Amino acid sequence: MPELPEVETVRRGLQPVLEHKSLKRLEQRRPNLRFPFPENFAARVEGQTITSLGRRAKYLLADLSSGDVLVMHLGMSGSFRIEAPEGMDMPGAFHHDRSKLSAHDHVVFHMQDGTTITYNDPRRFGFMLLIPRADIADHALFQKMGIEPLGNALTPDYLAERFKGRTTSLKAALLDQRNVVGLGNIYVAEALWRAGLSPKRSAGSLVTKTGRPTKHLEPLIAIIRAVLNEAIEAGGSSLRDHAQTDGSLGYFQHRFSVYDREAVNCQRDGCKGVIEKFTQNGRSTYWCPTCQR
């Protein structure tokens, strides 16, 4: 499943060709993805201008001039392919060939300027919905979401309030989208390694008896932000199906210190440990039991 950096990378790739642009025609090639498309989907978006393209957690949100928001989720294998008319500049460069099997091209956005944006999804776990902007916050998809990890709302005091008294593991608490949105298995593993914190320790262990953050919580927040920003800068991590809108692959996986590095020597200076893997809450967890406490 693409995590926040992958979705943000896609958003930034789509922004120049979608934002403040008009949609001439929408080509819907099947009745459903993970869920059925909205009723009269094509008719409701054709002729609309996309006033802004944002992201909430792992969802792309395209605000339409009609007042609706086109909510898009990539699922496991969804991607967008941008093709500009001959002679028109297109952001980015194609570094890697992408599959263009038309059998997996399910939605094609034909823009007024001649650009086409094709949504390709071999597994069809992605989806697209139309939700009135006024209803977004209360919609079932969004109403219980926590805060964004890259915004100013993520503070030691906020996490201390969420974590106090919690016996659940620190990793599980960070993956809980009701606390912080967009964090996934890869980037939580990397952040906890950098912070020297065990994924097994309880979330409540980072909070004092008086409810204040311990000395470990503030640097953890800075590390989470650093890991996510580095991953966005690198274009995400190319695991399985993820790739950027220009067809190129992300490169953050080459910077992994712990994720998917089982039996490799720990990279931390002075540490003689070896990365181990175990299953935690149904997911693979990578860590160094020597330096992560």
Domains annotated for the chain, with CATH where assigned, are 4-135 (3.20.190.10), 156-287 (1.10.8.50)
From 56, 58, 171, 194, active-site residue: 58
58 catalytic residue (yes or no): yes
Across 271-291, average pLDDT: 96
Res. 77 pLDDT band, cuts 50 70 90: confident
Q: Which of 162, 225, 268, 283 is catalytic?
A: 283
- Give the distance, in angstroms, between the CA of residue 187 and the centroid of all CA atoms in the same chain: 10
The answer to whether residue 283 is catalytic is yes
Nearest-5° Cα angle at 192, 245 to 147: 60
Q: Across all residues in the chain, what is the average pLDDT?
A: 89
pLDDT on residue 102:
84
- Write out pLDDT tens, residues 12-70: 889 999 999 999 999 999 999 999 999 999 999 999 999 999 999 999 999 999 999 99
What average pLDDT score do residues 181-194 get?
93
Given pLDDT bands bounded at 50, 70 and 90, which one contains residue 97?
A: very low
Is 2 noted as a catalytic residue in this protein? yes
pLDDT class for 87, splitting at 50, 70, 90? low
The pTM (predicted TM-score) of the whole model is 0.87
**Is 3 noted as a catalytic residue in this protein?**
yes
Encode pLDDT of 236-258 as tens digits: 554 344 344 444 444 444 468 99
**Which one of the listed residues 2, 5, 149, 199 is annotated catalytic?**
2
Give the per-residue pLDDT at 231: 87
What's the confidence (pLDDT) of residue 2?
77
Catalytic residue among 3, 6, 8, 190: 3
The pLDDT of residue 90 is: 60
